Structure 1
C-alpha cells in the first residue's frame, strides 16, 4: 500500500488553507474511541466478564509471529535450528525484560512461533539480535514467513491437497497465497502437483507485491491475475476431447476487503477514525465477492470466508445473506475438530444494525427512510425461529485476549449441490465490461470504493468499457515443437523425453531469450486459454538463464529457483554428489573472481568432475537422519570452470544453505555485539586470522 498523503485542513470563512496536519506517531495515539466501546458492547461480541480483558488486549501491541516454510525435510531442519540454536539462547537470557517465545499450540508440527520482542530487547541482547537476523535473511530466502498469527488460519481450514485447483480471490499482499502454495506442495511423494493456485487482486500495483511473496516458494503451479474478484470471469480449460470447459475450483479463499478494526493492535491509527458506518460500506462488496466465490467452486468444494473485522455486519450478516439466498446449496462446516487447540468464540446468531449515530434497529422495518440507502434488509440477523437452520455458531470469532492475537473472523462453507435459480447469480461480464481505470491508482482501502461504484453500475444496468491499466505486461510465449534453443539445452543436460518442453515459456516475442520459465501443464493450459480474457501478471519459475560463455557448449545455465522442479528430468552426467565439507567450502568462497580450485576439493568430487565439460551443473548433498525417515537433500546450482568449481546462488540462498550445514555465516551477518567487544578488547584471534588471510590474498 502506498503512503497516504498528509491531511490538509480546509480554509475557514474564506481564509487560507491552514496547512498540513502532521501524522501522529503510533506511540502518541490515544487508544480511545467512545463510539467503538458503545457499539461493540451493544453487539455483545464477547462475554461480559471478559470485556475488560478484551479491551486491555486490543489496546496492547501485537506480538510478532513467523512460520517455517518449505518441504517437510527442510522444515524439520529449520525447526531444529530455531529450537536448538536460536530460541534456546534467548530463553537463557538473564537480563530483565518482558519477553516470551513459544510455538503456537494449534499450528501443526510446531512450525509457527510467536515472540514478544521489542526493539530494545533486540538492541540489548546478542541472542535476540541473532534471532532477528535469522528472521530477516530466511524471509528473503523464502524459508520463513513473517506472518500475523490469525492470518495463518484460513489456509489451514481450506484442507488443500496436491490435486486441488485453488482460487485466492483477494490475494495481495500474498502471505496466505504463499501458505496455500506450500500446502499444495505438501505431499513430498508428488514431484509436480496436478493442481494449481490462481491468485487474484483488483489492485494492479499490489499484484506485484503478491508476485514477490509467492515467487519465494518457487512453484510452477501458480498464476497471478488482475481483476475485480466480484465479477471474475469464468476461466476455461481443456476438456480432454479437443474442446473447453469452465474451470470450477476445489477450494476458494475469500479473504475480503473490510473495515479492519480487528487490526487495531498493529494499526492504532484506526482508533482515531473508526465509526459505526465503516461496516455498512463494506457489506455489499463482501457479499458479492463471496457469492462469486460460491459460483466458481465445484460441488463438494470448500469456500473459506475471512475478515480482520470485529463487526457482525461484515461477518455473520454476510454469511447469513449467502446461506439464505443459496436455498440449501451451501452449508456451514463445523471446523472445531480441525484446530482443537485454537481458542475462539462461536459466531453470533443475533446482532444489531445501526447508523453512524449509534441508533440501532432490530428489523429493517424500523429503519427510517433516509437510512435505507446504506442499511439494507440482508444486514439483519435471522428470525428467532430460523436461527437453528443456519448454524451461524459454526463460524469462528477470534478475539485478542483469547491467545494474544489480532481479531479475526472465519467461516467455512461447503457447496453440497448446484446453485438453483433462487440464488441471484453475480452478473458475470466479459473482461472489458467494467471500468477499473482508477483501480491501479488507489490503495487497498480505496479499492472498496471502486467496487461499490461497480455495484452501482450494475444496479443501473450500464456497461462500461474496461481498460487494462497499470504496468504493461510482457507476453507469455510458450515453446513450440522444434524450438532451436531447446534442442541444445535438452542435449546438454540430458533431459528426459518425458519432460514437456511446451511448458517452458519466455516473456519476449523476438530477440535473444534471456530467461526461460517453467510452468506445470495445468497452468500452461490455463494461460493459453485465458490470457486474452483476463490480465495475467505472472506465472512460471525461472529455470534456465542465458549465460554466453566461450567455454560453454550450451548458452543456458540452470537457475537455482527452478532446480527442484526440473531435476527429476535431468540426466546424471551434470549431477555431482558432494560431501558436506566441500559444499561449505564452495558456499564460503563464492567470489566469481577466485573460485575454489578443483584440486583442493575431496577426491570424491575430483573424480566426478574430471570428465565434466565446463558449464552449469547441479551439486547434490544428502544427509541421512539415522531414523529411517526420508533424508534431507539439498540441490545447489553450480558452475564447473576450466579448473574451478563454485556455487551459483543468491546471497539469501547461500546463507540458508550454510545455516543448514552448520557452516560459518559470520561474514554475511554484521554482529554489532562482537564489533563492540573488539573495539573494547581488540580483535579476536579468529578475526586477526581473517584479516591476515584477506591481506595475503
Structure 2
C-alpha cells in the first residue's frame, strides 16, 4: 500500500506486512513438549533443552563522580562561614561537591527540593550536572579562607553572607572590567576614596564588588583583594556584558582573533623581563593557572615558538643561509683573482 506519494514521485511513505517464515541463522530455538506428552505426563521428551540467556545485570555505578552533600559537621564549613560571615539560617547541608574524601575543588548550592531529588535518586538516575557553582578552591597563603567566590553563583550566594562585599563607583567598576592583565592589576590607591576606605579594613582574599545604577539595576563582580591591588574574576563575555550595562567602551574585547594574536606577540617581549615582579603580583592577587583558564585569559606565546616561526619565514624567503652564500661568493672571487 502506498500512502501520500509525493507530487513529483521523489519520495513517499509505505506500509508493509512482514511474515516470518523461518528462523534466522544461528537463532536459538525453544521447543515445547507435544500435547500428547503433556497429557500423558511422560517424563521423557524429545524437546531440545536450551539454556536461557543470562539476565543483564543492572548497572549500579557511573563513570561520573556522584554528588555528595555536606553533613552538619563538614570540616571546611566553619572556615567558610566565619570568613564570609554567613547568615545563621544558612543550612550547610545544601552545599555539595563531587568528591567526598579528597580535596573539594568546586562547591555547588541547591535548595531543599533539588537536594531531595538528588539524594533519593542517586542510585537510579545518572546525574550529569546540578546546582549552581558558588565557591571555588583557591589555595593562597595570604588568605584566611581556601575558597573564593564564583561569578556564576554570586547572585545566589550574595544575599546569604554579610562580610566580603563592598559598594564601588561606576568608574572603579569600569576600570576593573577593562583591566584583564594579571601582571598589572588595578591599584587600590588609584581608586575612589570610598573604595579605598572600604578596602582598608579588609584582609586579603575573595571579595564581591557591587554597583547600583541610577535606575536601580545592581551589578555584581567577584574578585580578589590583595595588599595593594584588586582584580576581577570575570570571564571575557561577562566583561563585555557588564561594560555595556555601564555604557562603557567594549572595543578592547571585540577585536578579531588576528589582531589579538598580533597584540599578544608584541606584549610577549616585555613579559620575560618582568617575570619576578609578575609572580609576586600573582601571589598577592590569589591567581592560579586554573583561575586564568576559567576567566578566559589568553595563554602566553612562548618566545622559542616565535623565534622558530621567524627562522622558518627566513628560510622560505631565501635568507636562511645568508652567511653561507656570502662565503661561497667570496671563494669564487678568490679563485678568479688567483
Secondary structure class of the residue paired with 2:152: coil
Task: Name stretches of at least 5 consecutive residues in structure 2 with no aligned partner.
Answer: 21-52, 275-338
What is the distance in 1 between the residues matched to 2:113 and 2:89?
16
Aligned to 2:139: 548
Asked if 1:370 is matched to 2:21, the reply is no
What is the distance in 1 between the residues matched to 2:82 and 2:255?
44
Partners of 2:134 and 2:149 within 8 A in 1: yes
Secondary structure class of the residue paired with 2:231: strand
Asked if 1:505 is matched to 2:106, the reply is no
Aligned to 2:181: 591
- Tell me which of 66, 75, 80 is aligned to 1:484: 75
TM-score (norm 2): 0.61
Partners of 2:209 and 2:222 within 8 A in 1: yes
Secondary structure class of the residue paired with 1:664: coil
Aligned to 2:243: 658
What is the distance in 1 between the residues matched to 2:54 and 2:91?
42
Q: CA deviation at 1:557?
A: 0.3
Q: CA deviation at 1:646?
A: 1.3
What is the distance in 1 between the residues matched to 2:57 and 2:238?
42
Asked if 1:637 is matched to 2:228, the reply is no
What is the distance in 2 between the residues matched to 1:642 and 1:497?
30
Partners of 1:475 and 1:509 within 8 A in 2: no
What is the distance in 1 between the residues matched to 2:230 and 2:69?
33
Residues 539, 669 of structure 1: CA spacing in aligned structure 2 closer, same or farther, 3 A cutoff?
same
Secondary structure class of the residue paired with 1:667: helix
Task: Name stretches of at least 5 consecutive residues in structure 1 with no aligned partner.
Answer: 1-33, 40-271, 278-354, 357-368, 374-461, 626-630, 676-686
Residues 509, 577 of structure 1: CA spacing in aligned structure 2 closer, same or farther, 3 A cutoff?
same
What are the residue-to-residue correspondences of 1:429-578 with 2, within 5 Å? Answer: 465=56, 468=59, 472-571=63-162, 573-578=163-168
Q: CA deviation at 1:508?
A: 1.0
Residues 671, 370 of structure 1: CA spacing in aligned structure 2 closer, same or farther, 3 A cutoff?
closer
Structure 1, residues 240-270: CA drift from partner, whole Å, max 9, x if none? xxxxxxxxxxxxxxxxxxxxxxxxxxxxxxx
Asked if 1:613 is matched to 2:203, the reply is yes
Partners of 2:66 and 2:122 within 8 A in 1: no
What are the residue-to-residue correspondences of 1:201-240 with 2, within 5 Å? Answer: none
Q: CA deviation at 1:664?
A: 2.1
Q: CA deviation at 1:498?
A: 1.5
What is the distance in 2 between the residues matched to 1:473 and 1:663?
42
Secondary structure class of the residue paired with 1:637: strand
Secondary structure class of the residue paired with 1:536: coil
Partners of 1:468 and 1:535 within 8 A in 2: no
Number of residue pairs aligned between Structure 1 and Structure 2: 230
Secondary structure class of the residue paired with 2:93: helix
Asked if 1:648 is matched to 2:239, the reply is no
TM-score (norm 1): 0.31
Query: 1 or 2, which has the higher strand percentage?
Result: 1
